[in-house]
């Protein structure tokens, strides 16, 4: 049996929920790391933690295996889309069209409040809401652009003042880089 990932603050450092969703693998490079969506339960709990599903007090609407596969496919699409965006390339048409397909399945199962925040009734609709969020991020990119961590490839929006953020998080990759530099200097 697989153990569901325990989500912590450090999994939500991208500055945008869509990019946090794209960052649900341990690392994207230099080698692909393990999938943090270890099972359907970890997907539901991620969606709840991200605020896309209402708080359930431990009784989550189950995400089926099919929804888990959809989530993984959407995540792969997001990598194509946001790698293109951050490299200043056109968004691959197939990938953009895949986002539209997923977003179309939203139906009436999503509530959008006046601030534009979306809450879904079930995991599948929440996936649709993420696709819609991705479309909005593609069409109206943040001024500072989407970037990726030098060390692990996680995406983030750089809202630091000097716009020199290189790491997904100072606590993890940034700190590791500091340690590596220190070791290199003493070698």
Residues forming contacts to Zn ion in the complex (CB under 5 A) are 149, 151-152, 154, 168, 173
Q: How buried is 1 (Cβ within 10 angstroms: 0-12 exposed, 13-18 middle, 19+ buried)?
A: exposed
Which of 122, 118, 114 has the alpha carbon at shortest distance from 131? 118
The least CB distance from residue 150 to Zn ion, in Å, is 7
| Residues linked to residue 157 through DSSP beta bridges, in sequence order | 146
The least CB distance from residue 32 to Zn ion, in Å, is 14
- At residue 155, φ and ψ (nearest 5 deg) are -80, 155
The least CB distance from residue 172 to Zn ion, in Å, is 6
- Decide whether 97 or 176 has the Cβ nearer to Zn ion: 176
- Decide whether 103 or 151 has the Cβ nearer to Zn ion: 151
DSSP 9: G
The rounded distance, in Å, linking the Cα atoms of 134 and 54 is 20
- Decide whether 31 or 55 has the Cβ nearer to Zn ion: 31
- Decide whether 137 or 151 has the Cβ nearer to Zn ion: 151
The least CB distance from residue 48 to Zn ion, in Å, is 24
- Decide whether 136 or 177 has the Cβ nearer to Zn ion: 177
The least CB distance from residue 11 to Zn ion, in Å, is 12
5 and 41 in contact (C-beta within 8 Å)? no
81 and 100 in contact (C-beta within 8 Å)? no
| CB-CB neighbours of 41 under 10 Å | 17
The rounded distance, in Å, linking the Cα atoms of 152 and 26 is 8
- Decide whether 14 or 137 has the Cβ nearer to Zn ion: 14
The least CB distance from residue 118 to Zn ion, in Å, is 27
């Amino acid at each position: 049996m697989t153990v569901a990932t325990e989500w912590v603050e450090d999994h939500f450092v991208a500055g945008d929920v869509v990019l946090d969703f794209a960052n649900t693998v341990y690392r994207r490079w230099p080698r692909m790391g393990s999938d943090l969506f270890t099972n359907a339960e970890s997907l539901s709990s991620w969606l709840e933690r991200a605020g896309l599903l209402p708080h359930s007090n431990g009784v989550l609407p189950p995400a089926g295996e099919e929804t888990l596969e959809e989530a993984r496919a959407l995540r792969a699409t997001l990598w194509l889309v946001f790698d293109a965006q951050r490299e200043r390339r056109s968004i691959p048409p197939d990938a953009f069209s895949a986002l539209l397909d997923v977003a179309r399945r939203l139906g009436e199962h999503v509530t959008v409040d006046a601030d534009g925040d979306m809450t879904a009734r079930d995991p599948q609709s929440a996936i649709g809401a993420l696709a819609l969020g991705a479309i909005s991020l593609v069409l109206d990119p943040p001024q500072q652009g989407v970037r990726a961590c030098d060390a692990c490839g996680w995406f983030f929006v750089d809202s630091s003042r000097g716009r020199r953020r290189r790491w997904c998080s100072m606590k993890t990759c940034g700190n590791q880089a500091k340690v590596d530099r220190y070791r290199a200097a003493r070698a």
